[in-house]
Structure 1
């Protein structure tokens, strides 16, 4: 089942607020579907206020990329997600995962009373989604995007998620193809591409990311900064792997606008 292309942008606050607001408007004007923000407590504003602001400025869909489940009780994340879905009149998408590498140290530094093991984090993701569904009730369905890597997370995502993205580094095209084929046809497959040419998006991958090494590994986390070559590769990734939702960093959004203009909705 071929899904139409759509494109999202992870837009952290790395400038003064007025410049960020201008960037949000420019992203909307370029044809992107979704404005996304990361969940990095104390280095970024909280997702809820940022997304409410973006939704008020534009008609973009908005979402988290992604909530780290260990940071909050499940009911609190679900309540915020439902509230954003309600206040944006259905334009919010809840991205959620079990937390980035090294989150254990981050939790300890923030004084969390206990660092939950991976299986408990995954259980919290399930509880969050179930609570969100209860809050939504029969007349609302907040889309859920789940970030996964291991087989247990993939199995849960296949059960509860509307959109699935893989937590990738230097995995080869062959490895990613194998993971993508495990999902049912109605799940939207998303691909976060943090490296465009030699530009590495902050808050999407580690600061030590090596673009040349990713290209040498034929990794799916990198694209050319030439719009024609990027568009050709994006079409290949949908044809071969089923990826239809592509997420870029904000610093590359202007350069890839021609790709979005050509492919969005097709």
Structure 2
């Protein structure tokens, strides 16, 4: 049976705090399940304090989308995640991955070691092991893993509650769908899909990324884009669950209110 739909919003703090808090309140009233923060030091406050503010203000679940493993020691990330679970009384989801494209340049700018992809995946594994030790038998912090290569997908099958494919905008629908369906063939796991483009609107934290041209994405039938029309968007969301297995859809802040009617209609169904 298909999992019920749920929806998250990636909402970096790119405005003044009162404006952002007003936006968080509107998201909470629109049927979204989760408010998410990216892990980009140059842009905004650190994810955990911002998410703590959002969790205190609303009943939303909150989460990272996603922690970049090389930006901090594994024990520090795990301790922060466990603490968020305790302080939000179970409303925190730890999203984690090896870092978005260009993470090497970020690390150099920050004066940090540039770890290889294999070393970064080892850091993810260490973070997950430490988190489970901190959680102990009575607490469970849900883990969302952003994965791409076979080793990362194998770790996600071992340790994650939710998986999102760290797709490139240029990836074909067939290629991403194949990775997603292979995961489902191994284990009944929640599949999350990040959709950075709705109509011609690109998510704020993706605006500088290459290969996010809305017209090109539509022509390629990419999974990175949804139609602007709510009815067409709802139809496409249903299609992606039926054909691939996606049930958790993550939208950029700039399109969250546009798709609010879709979210209200589909959430929980």
- 1:217 paired with 2:220, answer yes
TM-score (norm 2): 0.96
1:185-213 deviations in Å (ceiling 9; x for gaps): 42100000000000000224644421111
1:204-243 equivalences in 2 (<5 Å)? 204=206, 206-208=208-210, 209-243=212-246
Query: Relative to 1, partners in 2 of residues 1:204 and 1:185: Cα closer, same or farther, differing over 3 Å?
Result: farther
Cα distance between partner residues in 2 of 1:192 and 1:198 = 16
Q: Give the secondary-structure state (helix, strand or coil) at the position aligned to 2:204.
A: coil
1:83-116 deviations in Å (ceiling 9; x for gaps): 000000000000000001111111011111x211
Cα distance between partner residues in 1 of 2:14 and 2:234 = 27
8 Å contact 2:197–2:225 — kept in the other structure?
Answer: yes
Match of 1:199 in 2: 201
Match of 1:251 in 2: 254
Cα distance between partner residues in 1 of 2:154 and 2:44 = 31
Cα distance between partner residues in 2 of 1:189 and 1:60 = 20
Cα distance between partner residues in 1 of 2:75 and 2:147 = 21
Match of 1:159 in 2: 158
The Cα shift of 1:174 comes to 1.2
Cα distance between partner residues in 1 of 2:151 and 2:37 = 26
Match of 2:58 in 1: 58
1:134-157 deviations in Å (ceiling 9; x for gaps): 000000110000001111111111
Match of 2:148 in 1: 149
The Cα shift of 1:36 comes to 0.2
Cα distance between partner residues in 2 of 1:68 and 1:151 = 18
Which structure 1 segments of 5+ residues have no match?
Answer: none
8 Å contact 2:157–2:187 — kept in the other structure?
Answer: no
Cα distance between partner residues in 2 of 1:134 and 1:201 = 35
Cα distance between partner residues in 2 of 1:18 and 1:199 = 23
- CA RMSD in angstroms comes to 1.0
1:112-151 equivalences in 2 (<5 Å)? 112=112, 114-151=113-150
Divergent runs of 4+, >6 A:
none
